[in-house]
Structure 1
Amino acid sequence: MTLSGAAAIAGIGATEFSKASGRSELQLSVEAIRAALADCGLTAADVDGLTTFTMDTSSEIAVARELGLPELRFFSRINYGGGAACATVQQAAMAVATGVADVVVCYRGFNERSESRFGQFSLAAATQVNTNGLDNAWTYPMGLGTPAATVAMQARRYMHEYGATSADFGAVAVADRRHAATNPHAFFFQRPITLEDHQSSRMIVDPLHLLDCCQESDGAVALVVTSAERARDLAAPRAVVTAAAQGSGADQFVMTSYYRDDIGIPEMGVVGRELWRQSGLTPGDMPMAVLYDHFTPYVLMQLEELGFCSRGEAKDFIAGGAIELGGRLPLNTHGGQLGEAYIHGMNGIAEAVRQIRGTAVNQVADVPHVLVTAGTGVPTSGLVLSA
């Protein structure tokens, strides 16, 4: 039995992306799910499975009630924050491929700007009643308590080891914002930046500038997963799940794995090797990619772990506009989480589907396959979607 090719994303839906939605997170999720069902021509009565993040505040049964689902045969939640994004699709695809469910909706909705503020110091992260809370309790009370602070630790060591500079990180931000500038759904629509803007933006945690850090956003995204055969006959073109993987590396922590001997993000290496094994494809088969970009340094590290270039060579790989439209590997053509919105990576999966369909605002020519990754610095996941 193989998962490859058995399931497909048939529908995508989203709310607007804002800094103050004015609705509950449950309302946002339900709106996005209804839009995703309408996109592929299915109804709530067709849905028998739901999957989301452990961090999502809207339980599957609450979503089911609001949608009027008759019953659920499958429901699951994936741990580790943004690392869960692609794994929600993996879970849905496995359920569909094995006959556990027929139509599974993956959803993520949150008011991260108007309510939870992930970018601020998190007492909850150090006091959660599990071993992740125990791990965080070693550093959070000492002031190392924001995502930017933990990423800055690893970014500085990466710079020391491989000679990368802040300007190299800035190239990622510039590319994302250029793509967002032509995307009407992006929060930073019509607001590109230059490298000079990046370098002059205020320092958040050395070496991370403000423009190295993703947004805090309100919004929701939903994805409808069903069998590849059924998806072929639905209203919108499908995106087949050619590969789906999760990964955790040796001596893994959550956002604080920077004491490992390996300065990379080996958990993404686990994901990459599994994606290439399942799909039979290679990095050279990818005309573009959607790489999780909550902080710019991790985009460089992902390119190396996934095999697009060797360790320490990402700064050269991305030079000269290589990751912008028209470059050798356009990244995050929707604007990414730095430019469109931070919906824990789910909006990136939706963009990959649009690229497969040929309907993206910043469409790359001839896209048979798209690589998508989930959150880095944590146990993570990834997908290869195909036409």
Structure 2
Amino acid sequence: MNISGKAAIIGVGNTAYTRGTDRTETEQCLGAAIAACRDAEIDPAGVDGVVMGWRDQPSNEDFINALGIRDLKYHAHVHIGGASPTAAVFNAAMAVATGVASRVIVVAGWNAFSGPSRLSQLSDRPTVVNVPGKALRENLEAPLGLLAPMQWYSFHANRWIHDYHIDRDAMATVALTARAHAHLNPKAYMRDRPMTRDDYYASQMLVEPFRKLDVSLETDGAAAVLVSSAVSAESSRSPIYIAGGAEGHADSPDDLLNRPDLLDMGIGRAAPRAFEMAGVRPEDFDFAELYDCFSFIVLRQLEEMGFCGRGESPDFVKDGRIALGGELPVNTHGGLMSEAHVLGINHVVEAVWQLRGEAGERQVAGAELGLVTGYGDFGDGSALVLHN
């Protein structure tokens, strides 16, 4: 079904992004949801749909109680890792476009620093969680020490580097660009924390080819997006329209190492569908908020979405092309690497600020068309095309 132009984002909100909190994950998510309703200048009780991006908490009952929802008509939970929030916004758009609900709140968040999923605690919890094929992971991979995303994704990254003779300095460019943008973002956790290229190369090598500064942050917080029908959005102060969206999945999505093409990614399926729905091409975008759990994932998405060919992203990102003022500013808020890791829903929030013209010092001049992506598990992908 083509829902282009039938749904719009009318509100966004977020908590503070911190390392250390006394709020539960449920409190974080509900706080972000209420903030999005306030941004839209609507009574939270008027929300009639809820979509959770990745986590199962809060529950639909929690939202009913906290927001005072009088008649919840629709709720869903999306489970494709970091691709979930972007896919969840598209899920909400389909709900309002078909009349199932009129106002749907989409929320994602976690206490990744203060909670039990913190990577530095992995040695105290030698088990595999929140990824597909749990039995396979625990019985065949965990005994060999494969426990963390950076280990799994290193197979993909190293194969790409080997096959295409990749200049690894492109990974530094992605990390440095994100940090530079974060310095212009008052909400970014890494604002006013400088990073030079020398700092990047001096950072610890964690798993070949990933240095510490190639890896996304562990932070506490949540963000939310309020979606309504395009007709209802006309009375909103600054609606941002959803022109296209899609999700996609790689072959053998639960088993990266036995994939026929180790470099296959779901975004290579999702993005063309989203672009077709919206009637746009890669060169049409004014900016892109690309899921950045690792620096190399930004580069690979550019390739698989058709901004350049496989192996060509190092040249694509040279000479300030993805920086503010460049041809395609990427992760204008700092992304997961320098703003905060809230599963990528903050990428949607940033795209809305950009298209409203309310991004302050980091505003992309004349922004009219933006792209948001998600990446999760072993290659799931999602994409949204947004316009003002």
User: Whole-Å Cα distance in 2 between the matches of residues 111 and 159 of structure 1?
Assistant: 33
Deviation string, structure 1 residues 40-69 (Cα, Å, up to 9, x no partner)? 111112100000134343212112212221
TM-score (norm 2): 0.94
Identity of paired residues, percent?
36
Residue in 2 that maps onto 1:140: 142
* 8 Å Cα contact 2:265/2:379 also seen in 1: no
**Map of 2:349 onto structure 1:** 350
- The answer as to whether partners of 1:166 and 1:199 remain within 8 angstroms in 2 is no
1:84 partner SS = helix
Moved over 2 A (4+): 53-57, 116-128, 258-266
Match of 1:185 in 2: 187
Deviations along 1:77-136, one digit per CA (max 9) or x if unpaired, are 0112111111111111111011100100000121110013353539686477x9621232
What one-letter code is carried by the residue in structure 1 that aligns with 2:188?
Answer: A
CA contact (8 A) 1:56 1:108 kept: no
1:298-313 superposed matches below 5 A: 298-313=297-312
TM-score, with structure 1 as normaliser: 0.95
Report the equivalent of 1:244.
245
- Tell me how far apart the structure 2 counterparts of residues 302 and 125 of structure 1 sit (CA, whole Å): 29
* Aligned-partner residue type, residue 327 of structure 1: G
Aligned-residue CA RMSD (Å): 1.7
Which residue of structure 2 aligns with residue 289 of structure 1? 288
- 2:383 is the alignment partner of 1:382: yes
Q: Verify: 1:330 aligned to 2:329, yes or no.
A: yes
Partner Cα distance (1:331, 1:258) in 2: 29
Contact 2:265/2:381 (CA < 8 Å) preserved in 1? no
- Pair 170,260 (structure 1): closer, same or farther in 2 beyond 3 Å: same
- C-alpha deviation, 1:238, in angstroms: 1.1
CA–CA distance in structure 2, aligned partners of residues 371 and 166 of structure 1:
25
1:171-207 deviation line (CA, Å, top 9, x unaligned)? 1000000000111100011223122111110111111
> Is the CA contact 1:10–1:231 (under 8 Å) kept in the aligned structure 2?
yes
| 2:80 equivalent in structure 1 | 80
CA distance in 1, matches of 2:127, 2:323: 35
Counting matched residue pairs gives: 383
Listed one character per residue, the Cα deviations across residues 152-184 of structure 1 (whole Å, up to 9, x for unaligned) are: 221111110111133221110000000001111
CA–CA separation in structure 1 for the residues paired with 2:127 and 2:63: 26
State the Cα distance separating 1:309 from its structure 2 match: 0.4
Please state how far the C-alpha of 1:273 moved relative to its aligned partner: 1.0
Q: Check conservation: 1:56, 1:109, Cα contact below 8 A.
A: no
Conserved in 2, the CA contact under 8 Å of 1:85 and 1:375?
no
Alignment of 1:1-387 (within 5 A): 2-120=2-120, 121=122, 126=128, 132-137=133-138, 138-235=140-237, 237-253=238-254, 257-361=256-360, 362-376=362-376, 377-387=378-388
Letter in 2 for 1:249: A
CA distance in 1 between partners of 2:274 and 2:40 (Å): 26
In structure 2, C-alpha distance between the alignment counterparts of 1:103 and 1:374, rounded to whole Å? 23
* Amino acid in structure 1 at the alignment position of 2:318: A
Distance in 2 of aligned mates of 1:126 and 1:309: 35
* Unpaired stretches in structure 1, ≥5 consecutive residues: none
Q: Distance in 2 between matches of 1:119 and 1:297?
A: 19
> Which residue identity is paired with 2:51?
T
> Aligned equivalents of 1:272 and 1:124: distance in 2?
36
Contact 1:291 1:299 in 2 (8 A): yes
SS at match of 1:374: strand
Residue 133 of structure 2 aligns to a residue whose secondary structure is: helix
CA shift at 1:20, angstroms?
0.9
Cα distance change, pair 34–26 in 1 and its aligned pair in 2 (3 A): same
- Match of 1:161, as an amino acid? D
